[in-house]
């Protein structure tokens, strides 16, 4: 049996723990009151009601709150499509070295040779992994990379005098940011439906690709965790129409060392360094979404670019066709440095083993769980599997109920209700960093939940039970949030 979380007492707010006269550090009062420096219109009519706590109270309060967090340091975190994998702490330490972390972004090139060198070498490493000819490290995240790719496509077509390409084709199995990025870039979005096998069918795609198509955006593997087996035919259709083939590389964790996107006919793509190469993912950033291109798109890359001449590294103007700067300075260098360190730690063979292990882990869970939670596309998957909850067989229990009950079991929930093409979807991504023992404990928890649904479905419908906050009205919280304490 999997161990359930211990019952947690009600968590009080700091204002509820407050006691009159309690205080921590003492400071000398300012020689003049605030009214001596500020106009009356900026002053409160009465003093704010602030918590009165000792330093010990504050330390314990926030330490205990931190213990309630679900994180990779504390729990199995199978969040599909986000590659929530463990990353070596030594890379965090390297990125915090003063020579990198404290370098001024406007320092002359001669003062930041180390930073420019690793950026230059990281670009070469990414080119080797993808087969593409050049990268820009400027984009700050995956969606930012998508937008940069779209601007590159626009600049490329306009440079050839082709002003009629106003559409970008996006399958329904792509990441949700793809159509948003295309629309933000000023293009009309054309959606192609996946086949019954969850993949893009060439004959269906051909209906939507033509002289108006600027680019086709594929997520490989797609959001169902499936490889596009007809990618060579798809590439031929795209290029015959004079369009570009873009690959969303957010799921590159399944391809490292196995497939080079350029060999598939990809013209440009982004990578998520904060998913694939050693930066903790989530929490809003920082991230890194470098964009790689083939030779015919190099002139349009953002400026500046790191160059090497006579043994010295420098930031050089990218040329008159460049789309210009897309981020302040060179990149999120801290994230890029962690990726650089990660790649230095691995050989080509070990990078391949990372992908193989991620794929094996996902298929292991798919097979272990599919009798209870069927695999919507009952075939081999890549790094993530998409299962379904069947409410008709579980007393009306839905995917959200399963996810909430997993929290009671000490596991963070997988992605739910995504991809949209799968009803009651449970997208599970175990990654290569989890042991078989961890996967087996997750299988055991899911088995218990399945059995509970058979005997007492209301137990799941009212979960979680062992956390400080119980089931929320999530729609109400999103639309009419109450953020004030009375």
Same domain, 131 and 73: no
Residues 291 and 149: beta-carbon distance below 8 Å: yes
Tell me whether residue 156 is in a domain.
yes
Q: 24-28, 138-142, 320-324: which has the minimum mean pLDDT?
A: 24-28
Buried b (16+ CB within 10 A) or exposed e, 308-338: eeeeebbbeebeeebbeebbeebbbbbbbbb
Q: What are phi and psi of 66, to 5 degrees?
A: -60, -35
Quick one: 415 and 453 in the same domain? yes
Do residue 186 and residue 106 come from a single domain? yes
How far is Cα 402 from Cα 416, in angstroms, rounded to an integer? 10
Q: Is residue 16 part of a domain?
A: yes
Q: Are residues 360 and 394 in the same domain?
A: yes
DSSP letter string, 386-422: EEE--GGGTTT--HHHHHHHHHHTT-PPPEES-STTS
Question: How many other C-beta atoms lie within 10 A of the C-beta of residue 393?
Answer: 13
How confident is the model at residue 7, as a pLDDT? 42
CB–CB of 11/68 below 8 Å?
A: yes
Beta pairing class for 167-171 and 213-219: parallel
Question: First CA to last CA across the chain, in angstroms?
Answer: 42
Mean pLDDT of 465-481: 87
CATH number at residue 228: 3.40.640.10
State whether 328 and 226 are in the same domain: yes
pLDDT at 187 over 90: yes
Q: Do residues 98 and 79 both lie within one domain?
A: no
The SS3 assignment for 450 reads helix
Q: What is the pLDDT of residues 88-137, one digit of tens each?
A: 999 999 999 999 999 998 999 999 999 999 999 999 999 999 999 999 99
Tell me, yes or no, whether 116 and 256 share the same domain.
Answer: yes
Q: Which of 307, 322, 344 is the last residue of a domain?
A: 344
Distance CA 310, CA 9 (A): 65
pLDDT at 256 over 90: yes
Last residue of a domain, one of 315, 344, 373: 344
CATH classification at residue 410: 3.90.1150.10
Residue 159 lies in a domain: yes
Query: Residue holding tokens 């593997």?
Result: 221
Specify the residue for token string 């000398």.
Answer: 28
Same domain, 338 and 400: no
pLDDT band at 279 (very low <50, low <70, confident <90, very high): confident
Question: Is the model's pLDDT at 4 over the cut of 80?
Answer: no
Question: Please, where are the H alpha helices in 38-174?
Answer: 55-67, 89-95, 98-101, 113-130, 142-159
Query: Any idea what DSSP says for residue 381?
Result: -
Give yes or no: residues 97 and 141 share one domain. yes
Burial call 262-298: b when 16+ CB within 10 Å, e when fewer: bebbbbbbbbbbbbbbbbbbeeeeebbbbbbbbeebb
pLDDT at 5: 43
- Helix/strand/coil for 33: coil
The pLDDT, as a whole number, for residue 3 is: 43
Per the prediction, the chain carries an average pLDDT of 93
Percent of the chain whose pLDDT exceeds 70: 97
Could you tell me if 191 and 163 lie in one domain? yes
**29: in domain:** no
Q: What is the pLDDT of residues 197-248, one digit of tens each?
A: 999 999 999 999 999 999 999 999 999 999 999 999 999 999 999 999 999 9
pLDDT for residue 284 is more than 70? no
More confident residue, 477 or 52: 52
Final residue belonging to a domain, choices 325, 344, 363: 344
Planar angle of CA 282, 286, 291, nearest 5 degrees:
100
253 plus 307 within the same structural domain: yes
Query: Burial level of 374, CB count in 10 A (0-12/13-18/19+)?
Result: middle
Give the long-range contacts of residues 342-349, CB within 8 A, separation 24 or more.
342/87, 342/88, 342/91, 342/277, 342/278, 343/122, 343/125, 343/277, 345/88, 348/257, 349/257
- 157 close to 321: Cβ distance less than 8 angstroms: no
pTM: 0.90
Both 305 and 327 in a single domain? Answer: yes
Q: Is the pLDDT of residue 295 over 50?
A: yes
* Residue 43 counted as domain residue: no
**Per-residue pLDDT at 409 exceeds 50:** yes
Distance in angstroms (rounded) separating the CA atoms of residues 305 and 137: 9
Distance CA 114, CA 416 (A): 43
pLDDT of residue 482: 84
Residue 306 has pLDDT above 70, yes or no: yes
Number of domains into which the chain is organized: 2
Residue 456: domain span: 1-22+52-87+355-478
Q: How many H-runs (helices) and E-runs (strands) does the chain carry?
A: 16, 12
Contact (Cβ atoms closer than 8 angstroms) between residue 253 and residue 276: yes
Residue 210, in any domain of the structure: yes
Flag whether pLDDT at 176 surpasses 80.
yes
């Amino acid at each position: 049996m999997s161990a359930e979380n211990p019952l947690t007492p009600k968590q009080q707010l700091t204002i509820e723990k407050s006691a009159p006269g309690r205080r921590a550090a003492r400071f000398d009062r300012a020689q003049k009151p605030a009214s001596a420096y500020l106009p009356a219109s900026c002053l409160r009519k009465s003093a704010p009601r602030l918590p009165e706590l000792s330093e010990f109270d504050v330390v314990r309060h926030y330490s205990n709150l931190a213990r309630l967090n679900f994180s990779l340091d504390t729990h199995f975190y199978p969040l599909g499509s986000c590659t929530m994998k463990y990353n070596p702490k030594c890379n965090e330490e390297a990125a915090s070295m003063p020579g990198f972390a404290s370098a001024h972004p406007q320092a002359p090139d001669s003062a930041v040779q180390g930073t420019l060198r690793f950026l230059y070498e990281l670009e070469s490493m990414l080119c080797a992994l993808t087969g593409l000819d050049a990268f820009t490290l400027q984009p700050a995240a995956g969606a930012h990379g998508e937008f940069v790719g779209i601007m590159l496509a626009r600049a490329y077509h306009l440079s050839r005098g082709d002003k009629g390409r106003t559409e970008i084709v996006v399958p329904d199995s792509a990441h949700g940011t793809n159509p948003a990025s295309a629309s933000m870039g000023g293009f009309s979005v054309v959606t192609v439906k996946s086949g019954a096998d969850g993949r893009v069918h060439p004959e269906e795609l051909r209906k939507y690709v033509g002289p108006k198509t600027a680019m086709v955006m594929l997520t490989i593997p797609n959001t169902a965790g499936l490889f596009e087996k007809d990618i060579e035919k798809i590439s031929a259709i795209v290029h015959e129409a004079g369009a570009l083939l873009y690959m969303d590389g957010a799921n590159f964790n399944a391809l490292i060392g196995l497939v080079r996107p350029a060999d598939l006919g990809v013209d440009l793509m982004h990578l998520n360094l904060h998913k694939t190469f050693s930066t903790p993912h989530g929490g809003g950033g920082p991230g890194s979404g470098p964009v790689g291109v083939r030779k015919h798109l190099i002139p349009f890359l953002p400026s500046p670019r790191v160059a090497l001449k006579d043994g010295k590294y420098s930031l050089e103007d990218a040329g008159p066709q460049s789309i210009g700067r897309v981020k302040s300075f060179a990149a999120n260098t801290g994230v890029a440095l962690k990726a650089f360190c990660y790649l230095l730690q691995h050989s080509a063979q070990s990078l391949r083993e990372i992908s193989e292990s991620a794929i094996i882990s996902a298929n292991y869970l798919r097979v272990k769980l599919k009798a209870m939670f069927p695999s919507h596309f009952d075939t081999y998957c890549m790094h993530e599997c998409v299962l379904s909850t069947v409410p008709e067989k579980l007393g009306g229990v839905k995917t959200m109920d399963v996810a909430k009950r997993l929290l009671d079991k000490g596991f963070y929930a997988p992605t739910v209700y995504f991809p949209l093409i799968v009803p009651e979807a449970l997208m599970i991504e175990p990654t290569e960093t989890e042991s078989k023992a961890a996967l087996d404990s997750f299988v055991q928890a899911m088995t218990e939940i399945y059995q509970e649904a058979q005997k007492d479905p209301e137990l799941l419908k009212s979960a979680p039970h062992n956390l400080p906050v119980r089931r929320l009205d999530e729609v109400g919280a999103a639309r009419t949030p109450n953020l004030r304490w009375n």
